[in-house]
Amino acid sequence: MALNFKGKAWVFGDNLDADLELIPFREREMGHMKDGNYGRWILTPVDPDFPKKVKKGDILVTGTNMGCGHGHQQANIGLMQVGISCVIAESFDRNFFKNSINLGLPIIELEGIKKFVRQGDELEVDLHKGEIKNLTTKKAMKFTPLPDFLLEIVEAGGLEAYTNKLIAEGKI
Amino acid sequence: MGKTIVEKIIARKVGVPEVKPGEYVKFGIDTVIQVGSDIGALNANEYKNLGWDKLFDPSKVMIAPEHCGSWSRPQDSITNRESHRQTVEWAKSLGVPDENILELGRVGTCHHIPIEMAWALPGGVYLHIDTHCPTVGGVGCLGINLSAAETSFLRLGWMWFRVPKSIKFEISGKLQNGVMGRDVFEYILGQIGPAGAVYQAMEYTGSVVENMSMDGRLTMCCLSIFTGAKTGIVAPDQKVIDWFKARTKVPFEPQYSDKDAEYAKVYKYDGSKIEPQVVVPPYRRTVVPVSQAVGTKITSAFIGSCASGRDEDLRVAAKILKGKKVAPGVMFNVTPGSSDTMLRSDKEGVIATLLEAGAFVCAPSCSMCPGFYTPLAKNEVCIGSSTTNVPGRMGDESAQVYLGSPATVAASALEGKIADPRKYM
Ligand code: SF4
């Protein structure tokens, strides 16, 4: 997986809870996600049509405490299933953050991102370089890239895939 | 600039002179890893599905029935004994030695085990798949919980982490009789709120913490996650060091915060002003002084879980109930957190006192906390010293669960209504 992306920005607010705003927990409890298709439900409590409108490669931009609440990874999986290429937030909940890296969902924590992006802006992100270009406003923003050993995990497609890669290479 | 105990533990583990908050690190696993074989059998099941035929180091993997005790739900497709046996077969096939396989009768609730077995060492790091792993912070060990997505650590033998900022809580003065570590934590939660320490380490200091038992400190650290914290920790003192010296030959190096360590925040409280605290349903975050809950009639009471059920908790209950009876119409479940606690409490006469008072003494396990033993019936009102009170967690969703210290729970069981324990001390 390359670590640069280009896509349309979807902008949401603060404190998106993994079980309330990201995935409707009650629907999950009622057994409506037994098929493992969390993408069909992702962000529907905030925008019922989101899974239909979002396109592969689009980028999610949110406020503070993104993915708070229980560390249920269905939220991260759902975002990947609808094709979100990267999540950028002012700050992340600890579980959401580590689940993203461990599942291979590229993630950037960047204070000031909400002022930099408006709904629908076209963004170009380079995870290695630590740069986000807003192609709509023609402005750029820098961030500290994740260390290489974490980018390797993301690039491999998550911790399990990364472990499999090390096994295949005879490294462990 | 000085460093906090958490930063020093991580730096030592990584093998570098220092680490900074926000930095990402990875380090190898050199303590044992406890893999749950009953309802907590997440690791084993995940691992089996991944099809990996090796563990990073089978000698470091311990298999323990750590949640359910002997309990099984009729609706489950598999009994806990069956689940344990399957996990044991899996572990053996990957080379886990027989002595690493623990059976009922030698264990207890998952976060009691690493202390009793001296796996979580002062100055070390301890990892476990359950949320309340930070409990081990009570002995100056950094406890970090892993998620199911991190099962790969059993194959890799290392994991990555982000160094948290630390918040210092300085609790000075002396606690009133009948006020316990539990009350200190709930008081702090009431002050800083459920997002008061998000992603940070809570470091508890001051004369109140210095004079507190190890059991009280373990309780405070166990509950730290309810402020959003990554972990909680207390500097280990002589009694902690003696505990481990008596139980293990494995060398350990306790760590301590520097005097000029940098904290994200420092909170100071006067411990002598802290009353017993009660968490009021339905939210985990609503904390009131006991005086505001006194008189609420109860039908059940519970001492146990990873947040209590330690020697001191049972002892305080026995002290309050000695020569008296549990109120008519109240079921008082007391569950020692480990077989070791049960044995010590038995030798002290604590178990006999509780039985004479009419308490229902359960086998070491999580017991009522997740609604295993004696699940709450419709519309029951319970006060527990367990971790949380999410509706439905301890049984029927209509049941109301208050939370308080073991002293408050015992006093309430005695009176049949929520009571202030201070008058019995
Ligand atoms: S006692 Fe309760 S909170 Fe603690 S590990 Fe068991 S179920 Fe979880």
pLDDT tier for residue B41 given thresholds of 50, 70 and 90: low
User: Which CATH number describes the domain made up of A4-168?
Assistant: 3.20.19.10
Residue of A nearest to B57 (CA): A172
Cβ–ligand 1 contact at B129 (below 6 Å): no
Mean pLDDT in residue range B167-172: 98
pLDDT > 70 fraction of chain B, expressed in percent and rounded: 99
Closest CA to B67 of B338, B308, B395: B338
Which residue has tokens 């949320």? B131
Q: Where are the domains of chain A?
A: 4-168
Report the C-alpha gap between B242 and B230 in whole angstroms: 27
Q: Does the pLDDT at position B77 exceed 80?
A: no
Write out the H or E segment, with its range, that includes residue B225.
Answer: none
Mean predicted confidence (pLDDT) in B271-300 = 97
A64-68, B120-124, B303-307, B421-425: least confident range: A64-68
C-alpha torsion A50→A54→A58→A63, nearest 10: -10
Say if residues B225 and B131 touch (Cβ distance below 8 Å). yes
Contacts of A103 in chain B (CB under 8 A): 149
- Measured CA to CA, the distance from residue B14 to residue A28 in angstroms comes to 40
Residue B390 near residue B194, CB atoms below 8 Å: no
- CATH topology for B277-424 is Aconitase; domain 3 (3.30.499)
The domain B165-273 is placed in CATH, from the list 1.10.10.10, 3.40.50.180, 3.30.499.10, 3.20.20.70, at: 3.30.499.10
Task: Render each residue's pLDDT in chain A as its tens digit; 172 residues.
Answer: 578 999 999 999 999 998 889 998 878 777 888 889 999 999 999 999 999 999 999 999 999 989 987 778 899 999 999 999 999 999 998 889 999 999 999 999 999 999 999 999 999 999 999 999 999 999 999 999 999 999 999 999 999 999 999 999 999 8
Q: Over the stretch B182-219, which tens digit does the pLDDT of each residue have?
A: 999 999 999 999 989 988 999 999 999 999 999 999 99
Q: A9-13, B62-66, B76-80, B388-392: which has the highest mean pLDDT?
A: A9-13
Q: What three-state secondary structure class fits B392?
A: coil
Pocket probe mutation, ligand 1, options B224, B225, B302, B366, max atoms within 8 Å of Cβ: B366
| Mean pLDDT computed over B212-237 | 97
Q: Which of B107, B128, B130 should be mutated for ligand 1, with most atoms under 8 A from CB?
A: B130
Range from B15-19, B126-130, B290-294, B383-387 carrying the lowest mean pLDDT: B126-130
CB B307 within 8 A of CB B386: yes
Domain with CATH 3.30.499.10 in chain B: 5-162, 165-273, 277-424
Residues B95-148 pLDDT 10s = 999 999 999 999 999 999 999 999 999 999 999 988 899 999 999 999 998 877
pLDDT band at residue B35 under the 50/70/90 scheme: confident
Contact of A158 with chain B, judged by CB distance below 8 Å, is answered with yes
Tens of pLDDT, residues B372-399? 899 999 999 999 999 999 888 899 999 9
Q: Is the peptide bond before B58 cis (omega within 30 degrees of 0)?
A: no
| Strands (DSSP E) found in B24-73 | 24-28, 33-36, 61-64
**B31 Cβ inside 6 Å of ligand 1:** no
Task: Over range B323-337, report the average pLDDT.
Answer: 98
Q: How many other CB atoms are found less than 10 A from the CB of residue B95?
A: 13
**Residue B247: HSE in the Cβ half-sphere, 13 Å Cα cutoff:** 18
- Asked if A108 and A125 touch (Cβ cutoff 8 Å), the reply is yes
Q: Is the dihedral of CA B250, B256, B262, B264 positive or negative?
A: positive
Q: What does R_g of chain A's alpha carbons equal in angstroms? A: 16
Interface test with A, best of B131, B145, B162 (most A CBs within 10 A): B162
Predicted pLDDT at B206? 98
The answer, for B286 touching chain A at a CB cutoff of 8 Å, is: no
The interface predicted TM-score (ipTM) is: 0.89
For residue B173, give the amino acid letter. G
B306 CB within 6 A, ligand 1? yes
B339-347 helix and B311-321 helix, angle to the nearest 10 degrees: 40
Q: Which of B372, B175, B194 is nearest to B274 (CA)?
A: B175
Sorted by sequence, the CB contacts under 8 Å of residue A59 that are 6+ apart come out as A5, A7, A8, A9, A10, A84, A85, A86, A87, A88, A123, A125
User: What's the pLDDT score for residue B205?
Assistant: 98
Pocket test for ligand 1, best of B109, B133, B333 (most atoms within 8 A of CB): B109
Using the 8-state DSSP alphabet, how is residue B224 labeled? G
Domain B5-162: assigned CATH number: 3.30.499.10
How many helices (H) and strands (E) would you count in chain A? 7, 7
Interface contact flag, B198 A158, Cβ < 8 Å = no
Q: Which helix (H) or strand (E) holds B238?
A: helix B238-245
B324-B330-B336 Cα angle (round to 5): 75
| Predicted local confidence at residue B42, as pLDDT | 59
B197 CB near ligand 1 (under 6 Å): no
- Tell me the nearest-neighbour CA distance from B44 into chain A, angstroms: 15
- Residue B40's pLDDT is 52
3-state secondary structure of B413: helix
pLDDT at A1: 56
Task: State the amino acid at position B315 in one-letter form.
Answer: R
Determine the pLDDT at residue B102: 94
Q: Which of residues 53-82 of A touch B (CB under 8 A)?
A: 65, 68, 71, 73
**Most confident option among A93-97, B10-14, B281-285, B390-394:** B10-14
CB atoms inside a 10 Å sphere around CB B294: 17
Task: Output the pLDDT for position B45.
Answer: 74
